Structure 1
């Protein structure tokens, strides 16, 4: 059994796509995932599965959400090791930024095309620092996420890929839960 982390995009945000975590947990167990743990109300789960690849699990969870709750969501699944690598590669590690909740991770479902990466120019986002990799956009929102112009929707549009964004605290907690699982 391998430990995975799944992140759903856009559930329980502003009253949209509401899912109770207890119901989500039951659905995940119903589709064959084990040792399911959810974290906060925004679609973060840690679970175990035997012999599955991340993209297969993404589709299985996506279908389970559609069948059980009636809406389509983007699902990003990472292995425990994959999540650990993403956190280790974070270039924004100043304690003051982490404590001020300025550091975010936009996890990419697909690898963006090189041409698309050129659509994001640092001078267009002077209050945000960012680094784009094949699986994550690391963000440091200098004025806080609420004032950031480089939002998840902008990233998706400019890069031409699906993404879901989490803050550093959530990512660290998910890794902690994965290590305990």
Structure 2
């Protein structure tokens, strides 16, 4: 069985997409996933499955759509992929709560950084299927807009590290 991490988009953020983590665990278990663990209330779940990454994504998206009555975006990473994302963090000296990874389904567009607007002190870098952003003044003070990020979901480095650790355990 492979270890997967599912990152849900727009769950429990700003009052939209309410999904209790106990419900998410139950949905994953009813889908046949094993050793299901959720982390914080923003749609992070680690589990095991014999299915392929593509099949896991499709199955979880269907379960969530049935539950919510609308599509819920899901990004999937294997445990190894999450560990690689953490290792590739170009902002290792930054406070982990001020650096985020924006997870995407595919490679970021070549112009992802050039098309960003509202940049002040933020630093950005492209990953394989991610965009890394360091917010030295905090994300709440930032006016940064990255059009490519609309199709993704962001997690701070603290969360990425915990998910990578859980997936490796």
Is this a same-fold pair by TM over 0.5? Answer: yes
The structure with the largest helix share of the pair is: 1
Do structure 1's residue 129 and structure 2's residue 123 form an aligned pair?
yes
1:86 — aligned with what?
85
- Mean CA deviation greater in 80-89 or 62-71: 62-71
Structure 1 unaligned blocks of 5 or more = none
- 2:133 equivalent to 1:146: no
What are the Cα deviations for residues 1-54 of structure 1, in whole angstroms up to 9, with x where unaligned? Answer: 01011100111112211111111111111111111000011000000010412x
Deviation at 1:161, TM superposition (A): 6.1
Q: Secondary structure at the match of 1:98?
A: coil
* Pairwise CA distance, 1:164: 0.3
How big is the alpha-carbon RMSD for the aligned residues of Structure 1 and Structure 2? Answer: 1.8
- Contact map agreement 2:113 2:124 (CA 8 A) in 1: no
2: CA distance, partners of 1:85 / 1:27: 28
Task: Report how many aligned residue pairs link the two structures.
Answer: 169
Residue 133 of structure 1: how far off its partner (Å)? 2.3
TM-score scaled by structure 2? 0.91
**How far does residue 73 in structure 1 lie from its aligned partner after superposition?**
1.7
What do residues 95-122 of structure 1 show as CA deviations (whole Å, max 9, x unaligned)?
Answer: xx225x211110112223324554237x
1:9-158 aligned at under 5 Å gives the runs: 9-53=9-53, 55-94=54-93, 97-98=94-95, 101-120=97-116, 124-150=118-144, 154-155=145-146, 158=147
TM-score by length of 1: 0.86
Gaps of 5+ in 2: none
Over 3 Å counting, the alpha-carbon distance change for 1:111 and 1:83 in structure 2 is same
Deviations 1:117-147 (A, max 9, x none): 54237xx512210001231111100110101
